Structure 1
Amino acid sequence: MQKSLSDIQNALLIQQQTDHFNRFSENAAEVIQALTIEQIHLLKQAFALSDFVAETFISNPEWVSEMFSPSFFDFTEQVDASAYLLERISNCASEDELHRVLRQLRNKFLSAIAIADLCHHCELKTSLANLSRLTDTLIDGALTWLHQHCQSLWGQPQNNQGVEQTLLVYAMGKLGGKELNFSSDIDLIFVYPEGGETVGSRRSIDNQQYFTRLGQKLIAALDQVTKDGFVFRVDMRLRPFGDSGPLALSFAAMENYYQDQGRDWERYAMLKARIVGDGPYHQALSDLLKPFVYRRYIDFSVIESFRRMKQMIAQEARRRKLQYNIKLGAGGIREIEFIVQVFQLIRGGREKKLQQRNLLTALSLLVEHDCISVNSAETLRSAYYFLRRSENAIQAFTDQQTQQLPDSDLNRARLTHVMGFAQWQDYVVACQRHMQAVNHEFSLLVGEDNEQNTAVDAHWLTFWHANWDTQESIEWILKKRSSWPAELLNKQLRNFQADLKKRSVGNRGRQVLDKLMPVLLEFLPEQQTAQLTLQRTLQVLTKIVTRTAYLELLLENPPAFKQLLNLCQSSAWISEYLAKFPLLLDELIDPKLLYAIPAFNDYPQLLGESLLRIPEDDLEMQMEGLRQFKQTQQLKIAAADITGILPVMKVSDHLTALAEAIITEVVSMAWQQMVHRYGQPNSTIGTDEKGFAVIGYGKLGGIELGYGSDLDLVFVHNRDASCQTSGEKSIPSKQFYLKMAQRILHLFNTRTANGILYEADMRLRPSGNSGLMVVHIDTFKHYQNTDAWTWEHQALVRARAVSGDKALIEKFTEIRHQVLTEKRDAKQLQLDVTKMREKMRQHLDTSSEGVIDIKQSVGGLADIEFLAQYLVLNNNHEHHGLSHFSDNVRIFGGLQAEQLITTAEQQQLVSSYCALRDTGHALVLQSLPAQMAEDKLLIERQQVSDIWRKYLGQN
């Protein structure tokens, strides 16, 4: 039955036996005298094979006497020592004593089990069952003691109906399957039935808080390392939300999590889950989670998720050089487990018998249900026995959690002896034969890896799933991309992963994201822009992680994903825009369409077509349709902008044309809504007129809108005050247009799911904020001629009608021309303009040391605009053509044509204006403030100042 150490003829083992036994004899002479020769021989053999057993008995020699007594447990058979263990645990008087007793019981019983396993070569099933039962009992005993202790501190937890509540401990993994190995950690999840609060103490606490505290105490009782060692390494990361999730969850919270967010790997984990101990809630909790684990249909989708996990594990094995790892290496224990679990998940929903936690039991049933052949099952079973016995032995040598084949001569000699081989190389050959056979079965199930297909993301797949320290991660990044700022990238990615844990991503979303992220890292540019591109791309992904459809869009359309990275690399504004409005990701699918910019006159037609599918009476959808159209077109313009397809001036032309088309559509919508409610003004009946027009001021009027520009608007109408509307609820036309103006602003400014349409600013209307929202055109004329300030006439230089009836537009144009043609006092005009410019600079200039405001600083854009306005107001009475245009470039062209400025000045002003706008525009695309170094464009700004000084004096 036993092999003597002399038969092994291994000097290392003999030396180890001698050293340990000599140390034991120093303090255990009486114990040794009471032992038989056979018992001493067995003890020496155990000392040779396990440092853990030797050190345990050297420290506690009295345990040897107890172990060899006839009344002690025979661990060569499956035993139930729960009464013995629970009695000693229940007698503890304090937490400190509980900790000590638990560790002593663990070490005593583990030593006995190790001797049975290493020396008596007991059956694997027996060893695993005894280890699992010991663990169950220690957990259950500790929990019972701590629950009573916590009740004395905080009261008894109850639900809202007064029913007592208790903490339940889910055993996961090998413990759940009752196949725990010698020095394994234990994966646990804490749950409790219902919320409520404690009763019977001076201060009640809610159940969540109570069970969290109890769970923390249980972990400390088992996991904390004291002078007596530890009981078990406790791993709580399998709980919902992992480390970032609550330590204990109610049944309802648990069910919600797995229904909404449970991932494939959690289905594998829950296969073996069981409640430790006995109780009334076990079946209810089992029934609650079974639908998540086992599908009612035959579920072949698990094969794909299985492949993903397999690829990740294979990459991890290569990275960590795990080819000698009998669990994680190719053909290791993990592959056997996966093969069995895949079939359980595929068919377990239909074949209830397959819903087994124990692997060997499930393996036998797979043959019965024709899932695998008898020969395959025998191959797997034989390998499982061999590898698990090896694993158990390796861990029993020094009580270390390892599955790596030993590299020391001593432990190799030990493993060779325990596994019944004469030489180490004989064991290695047998081990390799088993693992190769398992890997063959594994590959038949999931298919061979196509290295060519998987190589692209294999490197990054490993990285994405790895739980490495910072240095390992950095080294792995640099291995593939030596030019990257690896530390920054790693920090960004790990922060992103941490953020994901706080979000309700869902099972499918996580699956897609796990595929997408390695592709992202492969697609990132190799230059230094990788960090910025990643930062911006993650900003977009963060916004869409809970919306799986968008993740799938990027995964299924690699060109779209590459397009996203290109845009993010080029522009912070675009990345923020896409993050804000992820619907726009659809536009990335076809690059030809993305960069197909409409002609200026096509925007109204395209807008009309896009709104055709929306019922006219569905205001909410119409508002969303307007916003989506604007966002889509702005993205197209921006994409063409950053690629150089459109120069800045043309960008502004397109943005302005887009805004005009939208303004016209909004006016039409508001008109229809008002007419539906009140009828239309009687004087408009039978005509195509609305009697209404929109005047664009500022950047809209000057045809220089940017991506984030507001719309400066003024509304005018031309209907008599006596005119009524035609509806049953008739109102005066003045009131009608006021309500219409309010409706227009509502359509523009209301924030919907797609944000606002435009920020509409009405402060330039007659009398400003104190004035009516809409005025009669005659009132507008009177105000401009009698009440308007010089700065309002300056604003009028940049004004133009952007939407409305033809006759009303012509009337406005006529008024504008008349006002701008009035002769002004030159000195007063100069004073007014310079005072207003200085006032603006004092209030708006953001320049600081070394940095200047592109618009408001001396020689900046505002100076150029004021120069144009001044020269028009000062000269249009004699040169009427100056007021024909509202944009600066053509105004300067008109001034030069009339010889009011020199050709050199015109060229300098235009080139300076364009250079400053280009710079500001580029900053907007990077979401940066409109500022630049004070030495930038110095010549241009000096030229502007010189021209200002010539016409307006000291600036």
Structure 2
Amino acid sequence: MNAEQLKKTLRASQYAEQVLSLHQPILEQDYAFDQFQQHLSTTQIQQYVHEVLDGIQDEQLWMKELRVLRARLMFRWIWQDANQLTDVVTLTRELSDFADASIVVAKEFALKPLIAKHGEPVSYSGKVQDLIVIGMGKLGAQELNLSSDIDLIFAFDEQGETSGRKCIEIQQFCILWGQKLIYLLDHITADGFVFRVDMRLRPWGDGSALAISHVALEKYLSQHGREWERYAWIKARIITGGKVGDDLLGMTRPFVFRKYVDYTAFEAMREMKAMIEREVARRNIADDIKLGAGGIREVEFIVQVFQLIYGGSKLELQDRQCLVSLRHLGEVGLLDHQSVLDLEDAYLFLRRVEHAIQALNDQQTQSLPSEPELRQRITDTLGFADWDSFLEFLNQKRRKVTFQFEHLIKEKGLESPTESFSQLESQLNDVLDDGAKNLVHEFWYGHAIKKLPAKAVQRLKEFWPHLIEAILQSDKPQVALLRLMPLVESVLRRTVYLVMLIESKGALQRLVKMATVSPWICEELTHYPVLLDEFLSMDFELPKRKDLEDSLRQQLLRIELDEVEDLMRVLRLFKKSNVLTVAASDVLAESPLMKVSDALTDIAEVSVNATLQLAYQITAKKHGYPVNADGQRCSLDQLAFSVIGYGKVGGIELGYGSDLDLVFIHYMDEQSDTDGMKPISSFEFAMRVAQKFMSLMTTQTLDGRVYEIDTRLRPSGEAGLLVTSLKAFEQYQLKSAWLWEHQALVRARSIAGAKDLIEKFESLRCQILTQPREEAHVREEVLKMRQKMKDHLGSSKEQQKDGIFHLKQDAGGIVDIEFMAQYAVLAWSGSNPDLAHYSDNVRILEDAAKAGCLSSDDATALIQAYLSERAESHRLALANQTMQVSAAEWFDTREVVCKLWQRLIDPGATSVAG
């Protein structure tokens, strides 16, 4: 060996002296092959580990060989570090690659005896389960130091049982698997250990199960995950587990990186740093180059806080490695160039010092030694004349880190409003009446505030002037304040929302604007504060259908079918959060009416489709699958069940408060049985699917309902069966249905179910609607039905005398236009079948003009009137107001509609003018 390099190596490390004394022949052989000068790729390290262990079946020999290999590699890495033949990034990557390779081989070795005893771990869905090993901390970031512990979490995908005679649950199997893996790496033998294994970062920490399912991990993070765990999961990396592991890690990303700019991370950072400083003082470890002031942890904290704040929107900040993310911070302008250089330089030097400390005795420590001999070894290794010059250089680097931390973290406090608190209070009082002033007084001195923890009260006091400042800038300050106070009260115990609103002035201003326009939105946020997460991250673009489908599918994918409450919660919050997004886009971005209705209808359809799938799966899990009318098994991919949307959902014209008019149709052989262990008739199966669907959608929970559902338009109404076969539906419509039921069918379309059944229904609908009918009979029946609605739902004569117009039900309103479109289909589609193609009023009227049944001018006038009235109905719904408006303001629009009604339906009707 090179004598000078050997001398430096042994001077740097007493541990290296021990390794040399134990393994000199093999180390000399390694050196002879020039390995001490070479860097190892990931693949080379993997090959190295597998070659050493190849064919070894004896556990003791296996453990010995891996430990000897670890000692050889450690000697090599200390040699390279002491002689400056490597750099921090390369060294830490090679150490991490060796840890990865060791974990993989230990996992493989531990599996064989477990399978021999218990059989393979097979989930209830029939998939063989793998042990997912997640690397956390420095291992996850591939930044291991010379004597790092490795932080691990064990997980598996699905529950189930093993296939052997001594059958155990998959979780127990994975616990035994993980325990053996730990033993193979962590157990100290005469040859030492491979890696110390730390499992304390798993959910609930020490004392909890050693392995956790994907579903349980997701539930833990969403319901119990703490702020420090977000920091920990930044560095998480899948070491074993393949695509299933990648899916699991993908599930954790929204927990770590919030979609909105998450300013609460600053406060969490300050709290964590204060806790560490107290620990440093208590343990008197100021000389710890990791935890002490200006140490490694402080650099990591600076980087991580920015990752948590901006990582949801700036994906480049989601990198696990500290230095990579630090450079990205400079590239996106969150840190200036000099700050990045100072922090990078300090970090690399601190990591070199860390390696010098740990190389001494292969100990996991970052404390500067007090013994003169060890201090001299470090100064020699790092190339300093003496300890004092080393300390001076080290402290210079640490001071730069502390400077950055103080200015970027501790002083990144909550900005105060431009006006003083007393001035804002005075300005607010000037715009409030006595009633509002009393409500504000009661709010501050009521029981709710008195019961709050001191920290929550402090956050509220910090938030209040920001709220007042934003409210005073609105055109309706009193209205905004009174509508927002219940919302503020609802989040007092979740004051993270207050911090986010303080730090994001744009979000607070949008919230105030929404409050002035829509009490409905304020009430939704007040009743369901969890929706604030969505509100604060909104870009106010209308959601796209595919994004809606992907989002809901991902949310439901990892919830077990028997966890019905969780399924219902996801469905409810999905609907509410996305409708809120549409409302915000409507109010703030002034999105077009037709696109708003399309989006609201998409939300409903996606919800219906997902709920039908769940209802079908839940029923099939218990009873097996039915067969269809052609004798084929109706699996989940071939749903012989369809949900028909009528009314507004059928006409793609949903509003904010709309319920869903639905009819259920199946295409099964009602006499055959399902193929499960508890078979039932296919007719009973269809009924149970519909009942489960209704339960999932309409059960009142703490999160409300998904939708109110009306099924009275089914054949024979409330007296009829909840589900009808396609054949029975056809017979009823052709032989027994009233004309008003055909009128309702104009606005019907299949919104969920298998493609072939949807096509069958559409064909049947067109067949029914295009039957030849006498125009006089159609006109008479439509007129009767319209008059009934006016009598029951329209404005009274007294209201009409007072100048009130019911936008929907009175003459010249929305229903008149809908009825004229339906009349056009029923009266004219016999000779113009294209009129029966669409279910929405606008396209029906357009097609009537194309067919020459209506003049282009008349169709355009009706469409414009219809869109104007519907737009106003949306505005009124958001404002929590009734559909009764000033008749005078709608005179011209009504006159157009009434004249066309007179010409098409009722020649005896009077115009608005009388």
TM-score normalised per structure 1: 0.49
**Aligned partners of 1:707 and 1:527: how far apart in 2?**
25
Report Cα offsets for 1:553-605 as digits up to 9, x if no partner: 43454443333222212322211111121101112333xx4324332343212
The correspondence for 2:614, drawn from 658, 666, 669, is: 669
Residue 652 of structure 1 aligns with which residue? 597
Residue 788 of structure 1 aligns with which residue? 737
1:446-595 equivalent positions in 2, closer than 5 A = 454=416, 456=418, 458-460=420-422, 463=425, 476-477=426-427, 484-485=431-432, 487=434, 489-501=436-448, 504-590=451-537, 593-595=538-540
Cα contact 1:457–1:519 (8 A) shared by 2: no
Residue 804 of structure 2 aligns with which residue? 851
**Aligned partners of 2:701 and 2:717: how far apart in 1?**
28
**Aligned partners of 2:550 and 2:464: how far apart in 1?**
40
* Residues 524 and 680 of structure 1: CA distance in aligned 2, closer, same or farther (over 3 Å): same
Residue 823 of structure 1 aligns with which residue? 772
The correspondence for 2:848, drawn from 889, 895, 917, is: 895
Q: 1:537 corresponds to which letter in structure 2?
A: L
* Residues 637 and 671 of structure 1: CA distance in aligned 2, closer, same or farther (over 3 Å): same
Distance apart, 1:736 and its partner CA: 0.3
Q: 2:476 corresponds to which letter in structure 1?
A: T
**Aligned partners of 2:518 and 2:414: how far apart in 1?**
34
1:712-731 equivalent positions in 2, closer than 5 A = 712-731=661-680
Residue 946 of structure 1 aligns with which residue? 899
**Aligned partners of 2:413 and 2:749: how far apart in 1?**
64
**Aligned partners of 2:779 and 2:445: how far apart in 1?**
61
* Residues 900 and 790 of structure 1: CA distance in aligned 2, closer, same or farther (over 3 Å): same
Q: 1:708 corresponds to which letter in structure 2?
A: G
Report Cα offsets for 1:478-503 as digits up to 9, x if no partner: 6xx86x34546423422433545587
Unaligned runs of 5+ in 2: 1-266, 268-277, 283-410, 910-914
Report Cα offsets for 1:163-193 as digits up to 9, x if no partner: xxxxxxxxxxxxxxxxxxxxxxxxxxxxxxx
Report Cα offsets for 1:860-901 as digits up to 9, x if no partner: 001011111111101110000000000000000010001111
Report Cα offsets for 1:837-874 as digits up to 9, x if no partner: 00011111135122111000001001011111111101
Residue 888 of structure 2 aligns with which residue? 935
Match of 1:784, SS state, is helix
Cα contact 1:684–1:691 (8 A) shared by 2: no
**Aligned partners of 1:556 and 1:886: how far apart in 2?**
47
**Aligned partners of 2:730 and 2:568: how far apart in 1?**
33
User: Do structure 1's residue 703 and structure 2's residue 652 form an aligned pair?
Assistant: yes
Distance apart, 1:459 and its partner CA: 2.2
Residue 634 of structure 1 aligns with which residue? 579
Cα contact 1:652–1:706 (8 A) shared by 2: yes
* Residues 457 and 534 of structure 1: CA distance in aligned 2, closer, same or farther (over 3 Å): same
**Aligned partners of 1:450 and 1:914: how far apart in 2?**
49
User: Do structure 1's residue 866 and structure 2's residue 782 form an aligned pair?
Assistant: no
Cα contact 1:748–1:758 (8 A) shared by 2: yes
Q: 2:633 corresponds to which letter in structure 1?
A: T
Report Cα offsets for 1:806-865 as digits up to 9, x if no partner: 111111111111111111232222111111100011111135122111000001001011
* Residues 452 and 793 of structure 1: CA distance in aligned 2, closer, same or farther (over 3 Å): closer
User: Do structure 1's residue 920 and structure 2's residue 873 form an aligned pair?
Assistant: yes
* Residues 595 and 613 of structure 1: CA distance in aligned 2, closer, same or farther (over 3 Å): farther
Report Cα offsets for 1:760-794 as digits up to 9, x if no partner: 11011111111111000010011111111111111
Match of 2:669, SS state, is coil
Match of 2:672, SS state, is coil
* Residues 707 and 499 of structure 1: CA distance in aligned 2, closer, same or farther (over 3 Å): farther
Match of 2:745, SS state, is helix
Q: 1:901 corresponds to which letter in structure 2?
A: L
Cα contact 1:719–1:733 (8 A) shared by 2: yes
Q: 1:725 corresponds to which letter in structure 2?
A: T
**Aligned partners of 1:681 and 1:754: how far apart in 2?**
33
Distance apart, 1:542 and its partner CA: 2.7
Cα contact 2:535–2:581 (8 A) shared by 1: no
Match of 1:705, SS state, is coil
* Residues 514 and 887 of structure 1: CA distance in aligned 2, closer, same or farther (over 3 Å): same
Computing the radius of gyration over CA atoms, which structure comes out larger, 1 or 2? 1
Residue 402 of structure 1 aligns with which residue? none
Distance apart, 1:460 and its partner CA: 4.5
TM-score normalised per structure 2: 0.52
Unaligned runs of 5+ in 1: 1-303, 305-345, 351-448, 464-475
Residue 681 of structure 1 aligns with which residue? 626
Q: 2:523 corresponds to which letter in structure 1?
A: E
Q: 1:680 corresponds to which letter in structure 2?
A: Y
Match of 2:737, SS state, is coil
Residue 862 of structure 2 aligns with which residue? 909
Residue 643 of structure 1 aligns with which residue? 588
Cα contact 2:449–2:457 (8 A) shared by 1: no
**Aligned partners of 1:613 and 1:561: how far apart in 2?**
34
Q: 1:884 corresponds to which letter in structure 2?
A: H
1:13-162 equivalent positions in 2, closer than 5 A = none
Residue 379 of structure 1 aligns with which residue? none
Match of 1:936, SS state, is helix
* Residues 675 and 686 of structure 1: CA distance in aligned 2, closer, same or farther (over 3 Å): closer
**Aligned partners of 2:548 and 2:448: how far apart in 1?**
43
Match of 1:693, SS state, is strand
Q: 2:553 corresponds to which letter in structure 1?
A: G
Cα contact 1:503–1:546 (8 A) shared by 2: no
Report Cα offsets for 1:587-633 as digits up to 9, x if no partner: 2333xx43243323432122112333434442211111111111221
Q: 1:456 corresponds to which letter in structure 2?
A: T
User: Do structure 1's residue 798 and structure 2's residue 747 form an aligned pair?
Assistant: yes
Q: 2:748 corresponds to which letter in structure 1?
A: A
Match of 1:582, SS state, is coil
Residue 641 of structure 2 aligns with which residue? 692
Cα contact 1:461–1:518 (8 A) shared by 2: no
Alpha-carbon RMSD across the aligned residues, in angstroms, is: 2.6
**Aligned partners of 1:455 and 1:707: how far apart in 2?**
36
Residue 727 of structure 2 aligns with which residue? 778
Identity of aligned residues (%): 36
The correspondence for 1:736, drawn from 655, 664, 685, is: 685
Cα contact 2:640–2:668 (8 A) shared by 1: yes
Cα contact 2:666–2:723 (8 A) shared by 1: yes
Q: 1:676 corresponds to which letter in structure 2?
A: K
Cα contact 2:417–2:466 (8 A) shared by 1: no
Cα contact 1:920–1:931 (8 A) shared by 2: no
Match of 1:688, SS state, is helix
Cα contact 1:670–1:740 (8 A) shared by 2: yes
**Aligned partners of 1:907 and 1:877: how far apart in 2?**
23
Q: 1:459 corresponds to which letter in structure 2?
A: F
* Residues 517 and 787 of structure 1: CA distance in aligned 2, closer, same or farther (over 3 Å): same
* Residues 844 and 647 of structure 1: CA distance in aligned 2, closer, same or farther (over 3 Å): same
The correspondence for 1:597, drawn from 517, 537, 542, is: 542
* Residues 563 and 612 of structure 1: CA distance in aligned 2, closer, same or farther (over 3 Å): farther
Match of 1:641, SS state, is helix
**Aligned partners of 2:617 and 2:651: how far apart in 1?**
29
**Aligned partners of 2:451 and 2:685: how far apart in 1?**
48
